[in-house]
Amino acid sequence: MTNIKRAIGLIGACSLIASCGFSLGEENTWDVTQPIETGVTVEATGSIKVVPDAVQFNFSVFAINSTSSGALERATGLASQAREALGESDIDKDDIATQSVSIYPEYSYSQDGKQNLIGFRATQSFAVTLRDTASAGEVVDAVVASVGTDLSIDTLAPILIDSKDAAEQARESAIKLAKKKAEDYADLLGVDLGNVISVREFSTSGATPQSWLRADLAVGESSKTVVDLGTQEVSVTVEARWAFVSGN
C-alpha cells in the first residue's frame, strides 16, 4: 500500500511540473518557457535650442622668481588682485573656486644640452561662474587689467546652468517622436498599438556652443571684450517599447 501511495505521489509531482511548463534536464537544470509579447521597440531624440544662462571663466595667474618662495609670494599677490577685481564686479564668492596651486622649476638648455636652473614658476588657477552674461566681458577686462600680463585665460565659454525646463521639453518631444514611430510600424503591419511596456532614457546633453569671444571696436580708448552666447542644444534620447494587439 505504501509503494502505491509513493507511485501516485510521484506521478502527481511530474504532472505538476509538466503543467507549469518546466522540464528536468539531464544536468538537473530547469527550463522555463515564457510567452513572447509581440511589439516594437523604437528610439527617438528630442532637442531644444536655448540661450546659455552663464559664462564659465577659467584663468591662471603666474609668477617667475629666482626662489620658489618668491615666486609663490608674487603669484599670491596677483591672485589677491584678481579676487579684488572679481569682488568689485559683484561676483559672488560662491562662484569663485581655486582650481590648483603649483610651483615648479624652470630650466634653460645650452647648445651642448646642459641644463641650467633659471628660477621657479608659481601658478594659481581659478574657475569663475559669471551669471550675469551681459557683463561677462566687462568682468574679464577688469581681471585682465588688474593682473596685467601675468595672466592667461584658460576657458571662456557660455554654459547652461539651469537645463531643467529645456530637458523637460526635449523629453516630451522625444516621447512624441517615439510614439509616432511605433504607430507607423503598427500601421505598416496591420495591427493596433497597445500599451507601453517600457521606457528608458539614455542621456541629456548640451552641444558645443558657438564662437564666444570678439573685440568690440566701438568708439572708446580701448576695445572691450564681448562674449557671444549663441545657442546650445539640450537633447534627450529615449528608447520605448509598445505592445501590438490584433486589429478588429
DSSP readout, 108-139? EE-TT--EEEEEEEEEEEEEEEE--GGGHHHH
pLDDT at position 247 is: 63
Between CA 144 and CA 215 the distance in angstroms is: 14
Does the pLDDT of residue 89 top 70, yes or no? yes
Residue in the block written with cell 577659467: 58
CA distance 167 to 233: 10
Q: What distance in Å separates the CA atoms of residue 186 and residue 223, rounded to the nearest whole number?
A: 62
Q: What is the pLDDT of residue 240?
A: 96
Across-strand partners of 119?
Answer: 106
Average pLDDT over residues 3-16: 45
Q: Which fold is adopted by the domain 39-51+163-245? A: Translation Initiation Factor IF3 (3.30.110)
Q: What is the dihedral of CA 219, 220, 225, 227, to 10 degrees?
A: -40
- Is the pLDDT at 107 greater than 60? The verdict is yes
For residue 116, what pLDDT is reported? 86
Query: In this predicted structure, what is the pLDDT of residue 204?
Result: 65
Burial of 108 (0-12, 13-18, 19+ CB in 10 A): exposed
Q: Which residue has the higher pLDDT, 19 or 147?
A: 147
The CATH number that domain 54-159 falls under is 3.30.70.2970
Per-range mean pLDDT, top range of 36-40, 194-198, 205-209:
194-198
Look-up: residue for cell 609663490?
Answer: 72
Query: Given 3-state DSSP classes, what are the helix, strand and coil percentages for the chain, each rounded to the nearest 5?
Result: 35, 45, 25
Q: 27: pLDDT confidence band, cut at 50, 70 and 90?
A: low
Question: With contact defined as beta carbons under 8 Å apart, do 230 and 52 qualify?
Answer: yes
d(CA 172, CA 183): 17
**Alpha-carbon distances of 244 from 41, 53, 128, 142, 177, rounded to whole Å:** 11, 44, 53, 64, 18
Q: What pLDDT, in 10s, does the model give residues 111-167?
A: 888 888 889 999 999 999 999 999 999 999 999 999 999 999 999 999 999 999 999
Closest to 238 in 3D by CA, of 38, 28, 41, 102: 41
Q: Which runs of E-coded beta strand occur in the chain?
A: 22-24, 30-32, 39-50, 54-65, 96-109, 115-130, 151-159, 192-206, 213-216, 224-227, 232-245
87 contacts 128 by C-beta, under 8 angstroms: no
Residue-range domain boundaries for the chain? 2-32, 39-51+163-245, 54-159
At position 118, the amino acid (one-letter code) is I
Considering only residues 1 and 136, tell me which one the structure prediction assigns the higher pLDDT.
136
Q: 187: how many CB neighbours lie within 10 A of its CB? A: 11
Which pLDDT does position 101 carry in this prediction?
A: 96
* 229 pLDDT tier (thresholds 50, 70, 90): very high
- The Cα–Cα gap between 191 and 179 comes to 15
Residue 18 has pLDDT above 50, yes or no: no
- The model's pTM: 0.70
Predicted local confidence at residue 36, as pLDDT: 56
State the pLDDT at residue 35: 53
pLDDT at position 4:
47
Give residue 5's pLDDT band: very low, low, confident or very high (50, 70, 90).
very low
Residue 202 has pLDDT above 90, yes or no: no
The CA radius of gyration of the chain, in Å to the nearest whole number, is 33
Close Cβ partners of 33 (under 8 Å, ≥ 6 residues apart): 21
pLDDT of 192: 93
Residue range 177-197: mean pLDDT, rounded: 95
